[in-house]
A and B are shown apart, each in its own frame.
Chain A
Amino acid sequence: MIFGGIDIGSTAIKVALVDEEDRLLGARVAATGSHFHQNAVEALNGLLAEQGIDRAQLGFLTATGYGRKLFREADDVISEITANAIGAHKVGLAFGGVETIINIGGQDSKAIRIDAEGNVVNFVMNDKCAAGTGRFLDVAARNLEIDLEELGEYHFRLSGTPPPINSTCAVFAESEVIGLLAAGYSKEAICAGIHFSIARRIARLAKRVGIDRRVYFDGGPALNRGLAAAMEQELDAELVIPEIPQITTAYGAAILARETWSEENG
């Protein structure tokens, strides 16, 4: 029996499949686009086909994320906070356990505090503005005229201290970046500066729920190693980053699918 979790976000759809032991069998990331329902179904079917799994073998599907309630194919829904917590807790066990989870998404960022069993104890969200979210990185990459994926490399090529980027708003940061470029700062320096700016904001958010020894970092921007380095410095804690950080939430939803199925079927 296979169980699935699907995380329908505003920019990307993530699907994960697990077996009865909660082992991750496969995962897929696709763009949400403008027809999210169609794209979600395609992503799910595509992943099943790739893994050679029949639709009938899928015992339970749990949906999470922004578009969860509209995805009628799902058997159950769960909020992304709970799903993220379950997934991060499971992955974190291999590292000795995590107490705090930081998720930076395309449009928001969250800090979740969990207990030893992976239950959500507290959480805070920054959902009022784009500073400290993936959008900030998009804006920065565009202004520096580099690819989003290159931001990490540029960060590490810097020698010396990065300039402080002070804007609390992603829109104003844009003009600040242009100003710094004009003043002669290198792209490497500005990159690092942006990463530290985001990291400081996130650290403030995370401190509201408390940081212990290990922090789990997921969401698309977790692929940015430069950002991760800046965050480790600002949080002053060990950072645990999964191989595919975007799918932790879908993975958590899949685990929950397995749990729910097991409860209902004894």
Chain B
Amino acid sequence: MNRLRSWVDGVDIRRFRFWVQLASFFILVYGGYFYINLGNSLPTFSCGFNGDGKGGICYLLPLQHQMHISWDALLGWRGIALGTGFLTFLAWLFVLNKAWCGYVCPFGTIQDWMTKLRQLFGIRYSNYSLETFNKLKNVKYLLLILLLVIPFAMANPVPGTGHLPDDLATPFCKICPARMVMPAFTGDFSQWTVDFSTGTAMVMTSLGMLVLGIFLVGAFFNKRFFCFFCPMSALHALFANIAFLKLKKTGEKCTRCGDCYRVCDMQIKAIADDVESKVIVKDDCMLCLKCVAACPEEGALKATFLGIPIYESTEAGFFKRMDKKRKEAE
């Protein structure tokens, strides 16, 4: 048992992750062609605009549709549908927690591939300064609130004020870069347009194209650029500390060397500096477990499923991985 554990703890998590991401990408982007349908409550960006290929739908799309509900209908069967959709979402989320982001999300995978491309050219990555980071970190919560409130406001107009335009129905999807990028992987570039049919549609889709442009540049230079602003991540964050898969830290063993902070794509400083918390899944975390792999202190960080440790930082694992990667770089 101990030998199995030390073998697992010595594994190069990045390799494992590459294959899981590839498989998930395939299932969620092309699975539809193979009649795979994982439902509409997926806690990951499996874009609903991706025609027949999609293997399931990103929960944010149906959520925005369902939020277009009037007060009184909340108590009816539409309200129940909202509730069951949410509970299904939670059930999916509880199993993998934010590892949906790090291991499954095809949009995340695309960003990781862009990062690999950058590395191929030996170009330096770009990071936020701590000040900028702190200023921008709440954008995702703002987006989440807006995508919940706007459809709801549309269905419950305040008498005396005008109606919100219909084209704001799924406000987030209008500006989400995944809407343009994901269908492109099945050859569908129809989303790469500005819709001039109404004023609102024009503004929203132009905004979407702008965001796409920013995304393409940003994701090349910054690791997991979009994930910092992702409202799905914000939604996860509310339940991140109670799901089955957790990231735990034993503060006494931490030397605050910061190796985990260095490798973190999401620039989470607390992973290095917080030595009090036992569960350390922060709102930006995507549970990629790069931090666990980069920690040289025995048992300081570990991923647990229902309390059982499945991947733990070990001194031997750390040196083995460093040696291996150093040799690979030669």
- Direct touch of chains A and B (CB < 8 A): no
Instruction: Mark B residues whose CB is within 8 Å of A.
Output: none
